[in-house]
Structure 1
Amino acid sequence: MHPCDTLTGVRAVTPEFLAEHRRDRLEVVTDRLGETIQRDNAGYRHAGVVPLADLRQSCHDNVARVLELLAEAVEVGTVTPRGDREPAYDAARATGRRRAEQGLPLDDVLRSFRIGGRLIWADLVEVGEDALDARELREIGTWLWEVVDETSAQVARSYHQHERALVRADEQQRAELWEGLLHGRAHDPGFARDAGSRLDVPVDGPLLVVCAADLDPVAADLAVSPHASAWVRRTAEVVGLVALRRRSPDGPDEAYVALARLAERDAVPLGVSGVVPGLAGVDEGHRQAALALRAQGTTVGVAGFDQRLAEALLLSAPDVGRRLRALWVDPLLALPGGEGEALVATLDAWVAGGGSATAAARAAHCHRNTVLNRLRRVAAVAGRDVPDGCPPVELDLALRAHRLGL
């Protein structure tokens, strides 16, 4: 049975006792805890990485918080829930972070919290035997261990978070890791496992690779949550890995929506790969995302590789793109007086309209007959066949090559 189901009937003296105990016994318990950890926790004693002043301050702050949380739990019948910003656990989070920085093993850190729980309980029993009855002491003990368990969980969470932060803060290590990923080293299972562990992304799960000319990696990580992600700023680009949630059938669409919001918010173009099968596909995914980004140019928004295949083809074979442009577009632009620009704009509208002269006329703000006359003019100048109602694939690719600046 949960303690909150049996707490009714506890005398008002219990909260008063806990408040008095916290006021009178905090320093005593703090001193005992520091001495006991030094004597009984070999990790602290042998590692020599935690200064005594640091240890005592940590003991003081955490004992104070545990006693505050205990009093609150007894009074309201519940332990304060965890949360990354819950101030009741600030001492626990600070301890986890500092011990990770100092390199003290987490097991030793958590052992010190168990020692602290036992000492607090022993002191409560010693001081409370005359003020409280046995039932009240038992219920206080039950609440105390719930508080200690929750506090220990906060310590572990903060410790692990800071461990990952330390990995990410090592720029040289991260640079080598990312360069290996982007150049295909994740085809080696050992490297892939190491990279997945360090970047906190799945080794074999489906991923999207994202490229941007500039982007805040921290903001990007938050923007795509709850998808796990990892980001790196390279010399000429920012690259991200976005892990798709396996249990969400809308995973890719969900991630694309988050990336689109990010692109609009930061007013940047983003190139996004197709879904790649884990870290072993990151090198190919990076190539796809980079091509999609080049195809997007400076236009704000998300460019998916699968939606930019024609442009990707041209960018992968720029000599072909340049030749297509030379055959179709360059002769038109050589015409004097702006005629060439008008002809190219008409061709763009005609191709976009699927070969409909009526649709092209609406888009180009001219008469349908004007469109037809211009198409005949294109055929004459470029020396290419322009069949009615059916834009040649070569023409479509030539116009795309022109827009890409090939």
Structure 2
Amino acid sequence: MTGGKFPPEQLRRQAAARVAEIARTMGSELPRLGGAMQDEIAETIPELRGDSVILELLRASTQSNVETFLHVLQHNIAIGELLPPSAAVEYARRLAQRGISASALLRAYRIGQNQMLNWGVAEVARTEADQDVALAAAQIFQTMTFAYVDRVAEQLVAEYESERERWLANRNTLRAGLLNSVLAGRDHDLGAVESALGYGLRQHHLGLVVWTAEQAGTPSELRRLEAVVAAIGESVRAAGPALFLPQDSSSAWGWIPLGRNAAKPGIDIDDLRRSIQSTDRGVRVALGRPAAAVPGFRATHQEAQRAHAVAIVAVDTPVTTFDEPGVQICSILARDLDSTRSLVADALGGLAGDDENLAQLRATLLAFLAARSSYVTAAEAMHLHKNTVKYRVDKAIAARGRSLDEDRLNLELALTACRWLGPAVLPRAGRRTRP
């Protein structure tokens, strides 16, 4: 601008005066401008449609934001000291309470920023004949709209997150009391319970426990868990949103609705594992079996808890399902690890060492016993040559120091315990094993 007909300071003052005058003119048309902005936001963001309360709060928020911004332009108010209008704060809180995403909040401000900038630049072009002043005024509009939205939106997102945490905590406290009463088997009005929980009990359910291995305990942990539960729901083609109930800042219970079909729904465990691992590898999951109605709601949850009891011992298992062979018995063995450790030591002898080679021999021997002592069937299950299976079985028997027929039941229990509970049930250093 130094090459123009106005000195830079004079040009700045003239541009600022033009912007202030335009802001006063726009302020006289506040209802029309605010209404037009609200209409565009409501039309562009599908999440806001159909909720009369939210739309009314959007109207108040939009009007108050436009009015506040025009006052900033008229009176040169410092953006850094600005607080969001109270209507805008209440709008952000209500979005949080209704579970409408924060992205919808931010998108509304981007739409408003773009519309306000378009209005301002158009008014500058219409009312200012001098091109240098017009360009400087347009630049002021651009800078100020960005600064206003950046300042206000940052504060409102923080308010949204705080309100979301408060709302979920209060709601979950009420739901937890009711849910525990249902799980305890007390009689309730099903319609009232379903309304309070936001979940239908008269259908099939898949119960689960989710948690993070890191135990970080940050607020974002629950959002991670909720995202994984939603991904599981998509994987099993859920009949609606899951019931999600945090237990603390890094673990939660969940129920996925599977509909009212008479046939018991089938679950593709491999597909489920892929879905979970692709969503968040840091989250671990324990699953019950699908079951129907209120008794099934309780049963699948209890099974998920028992699978969880196995999983928290077997630290390297990201997904544990109660339906998998061995999990049910290991949920019992996990209750008394000292006794289980003694069982493993006595039944496996020298096969009970904690190293990779012995772990491989144990896994092969367990597959062989599950295949009813068929080398061919075990080889197919493990994707190995039958001679490899025979070699490993022979080595496992030698390491154990006894034939397979001796104490066979305890042998299978011990191998199963090692499969699911891992090093936690292997003899500690110095423990004597049976020769």
**TM-score, normalised by the number of residues in structure 1:** 0.50
TM-score scaled by length of structure 2: 0.47
